[in-house]
Amino acid sequence: MSVVLLKTRRTADLGPQRAPPVTNGFAPPVATGFAPLLAPRAAPPAPDPRAPPPSLGPPQIANLGPGYDFLGCAVEGEGDTVFARPRPDLPPGAVEIESMSGENCRRLSRDPRDNCCGIAAAAVLRRLSAAEGGPGVTCGVGLALRKGMPLGSGMGSSAASAAAAAEAVSALFGSPLPRAALVHAGLESEAAVSGWHADNIAPAVLGGFVLVRSTPGPATEDEADGPSDPAGSGALDVLSLPWGGAAGAMRPGGGGGGGGAPDDVFFVLVCPRFEAPTRLMRAAVPRTVPSPAWIANSTQGASLVAGVLAGDARLVGAALSADCIVEPARGPLIPGFAAVKEAALAAGARGCTISGAGPTVVAVVDCPRVGEAVRAAMCDAFGAHGGLGIDRSSVTRLALEGARAEARPARAFPRDEDGDETASGDGGGARGKGGDGGSE
């Protein structure tokens, strides 16, 4: 077994990340490079006026059935994109969300204290400023958010924004922070939305499959959403799990294997037109469970990890389908879920469960051809048994890399959908702290 142990108390850099160019959807890239914006506090440099590259945060599947709050993975597909640029007119460390566009962006708060990308960006700036013996932040930061993911979908919308913002701000200042620090910065954002759980933000930053061993948090958190740190270490402790467990396959940014995504495990994601706010779905989870159910879920969670390390889609699917605590509590809240799961299994899926807090349902398959048949069956079942249309559906692969900055910048900073490059106000109708309802 090959794993990477990340603890926020460690200061060793985990190494450079691969950053292949990715189409950003705003403008064609141009040639580039831009100067770091860190310097000794006594001699701040002039900020580089050129538009920096955007960063992209991927969708995620949290819980994976029995792995409630401690297992998750990143998948390929349209995520959220964040641009960051220096703002010398703002106080050092200040954040302003200058523009938002894309999926339901008008429902998000423009206040950086109440928006996932703003909270994560501010957390990164604090870490840059507080680094012992390190340089100081010399300016504020302006952000532009492009939402590619639906809100309250169960695919980690808030974590995608937070991860992209953390990566974008770190890259703007020369990427001096280790990946673990970016996970922790994103965790602050997640905590403002739905509690101290890292099973979305860790894969969103690191990529691949992750196992969250402990999650620190404030002592005031309640029993349901409080920190999980049985060892009492006070450190975020995350393991990246390589598919197939091949020695040497690990990279600092991900948990997959070799030079590309595995070709023997795929995920079918079907998101109906139905919103399942994370806080409400978390409230449905029982606070106490009978010992037999706890033992059963523990064995299935261990089986899922074993399946990932063995590269066994059949074992992963069987374990993912066997949650007997969270899925039974949440399933009835998603119209037609039981019939959708039954249809997926009948069409050839290795397993099926709720993705995160839902309403997206995820199935595991071992080839794209079967995946397409499973996708069609799941979509039909949502309509026939849940009375729901489909917002989006796809057959996708494991994302080996998490949030990443593009290698080259866009020609211009993005504008709002209404054409205003900068604006004030909250964008209208934010759904409380964190804006998009939270990941999971």
Same domain, yes or no: 391 and 373: yes
Residues 271 and 322 in one domain: yes
Residue 21's pLDDT is what? Answer: 31
Is residue 197 assigned to a domain?
A: yes
Is 434 domain-assigned? no
Stated pTM of the model: 0.81
Residues 76 and 208 in one domain: yes
Task: Kindly state whether residues 206 and 347 are assigned to the same domain.
Answer: no
Q: What is the pLDDT of residue 53?
A: 78
Question: Distance between CA 61 and CA 439 in Å, rounded?
Answer: 10
What string of pLDDT tens digits covers the 440 residues of the chain? 433 334 333 322 333 333 333 222 323 222 233 334 544 333 333 334 555 679 999 999 999 999 999 999 999 999 999 999 999 999 999 999 999 998 778 889 999 999 999 999 999 999 998 865 555 788 999 999 999 998 889 999 999 999 999 999 999 988 889 999 999 999 999 888 767 889 999 999 999 999 999 887 654 444 344 445 444 446 789 999 999 985 434 333 444 444 578 999 999 999 999 988 878 898 999 999 999 999 999 999 999 999 999 999 999 999 999 999 999 999 999 999 999 999 999 999 999 999 999 999 999 999 999 999 999 999 999 999 999 999 999 999 999 999 998 765 555 667 665 433 333 333 333 333 445 556 77
Query: Are 321 and 408 within one domain?
Result: no
Q: Does residue 2 form part of some domain?
A: yes
**Structure confidence at residue 123 (pLDDT):** 96
pLDDT, residue 246, reads 56
268 lies in the same domain as 251: no
**200: CATH:** 3.30.230.10
In what order do the strands lie in the sheet containing 140-147? 95-102, 140-147, 80-87, 55-57, 404-405
Looking at residue 42, what is its pLDDT? Answer: 35
Q: Which residues of 264-276 are buried (b: 16+ CB within 10 A; e: fewer)?
A: ebbbbbbbbebbb
* 428 falls within a domain: no
What are the DSSP calls for 149-203, one per residue?
A: S-TTSSS-HHHHHHHHHHHHHHHHTT--S-HHHHHHHHHHHHHHHH-S--TTHHH
* Domain match, 373 and 414 both: no
Q: Are residues 246 and 329 in the same domain?
A: no
In a domain, 16, yes or no: yes
CATH number of residue 315's parent domain? 3.30.70.890
Angle between helices 291-310 and 313-320 (to 10 degrees): 160
292 shares a domain with 167: no
Are 120 and 154 members of one domain? Answer: yes
Q: Does residue 182 form part of some domain?
A: yes
Closest Cα partner for 168 from 10, 259, 15, 37?
Answer: 37
Spacing of C-alpha 283 from chain mean position? 21
C-alpha distance from residue 252 to each of 15, 17, 172, 208, 249 (Å): 6, 7, 20, 11, 10
Residue 2's pLDDT is what? Answer: 38
- What radius of gyration, in Å, describes the C-alpha atoms of the chain? 21
Find out whether 128 and 176 touch, Cβ atoms under 8 Å: yes
278 lies in the same domain as 325: yes
Total of domains in the chain: 2
Q: Is residue 431 part of a domain?
A: no
Residue with tokens 């009948």: 346
pLDDT value of position 257: 44
Provide the residue range defining the domain that includes 46. Answer: 1-260+398-419
Decide if 429 is inside a domain.
no
| Residue 128 and residue 247 in one domain | yes
CA distance 242 to 207: 10
Rounded CA gap, 377 and 348, in Å?
A: 10
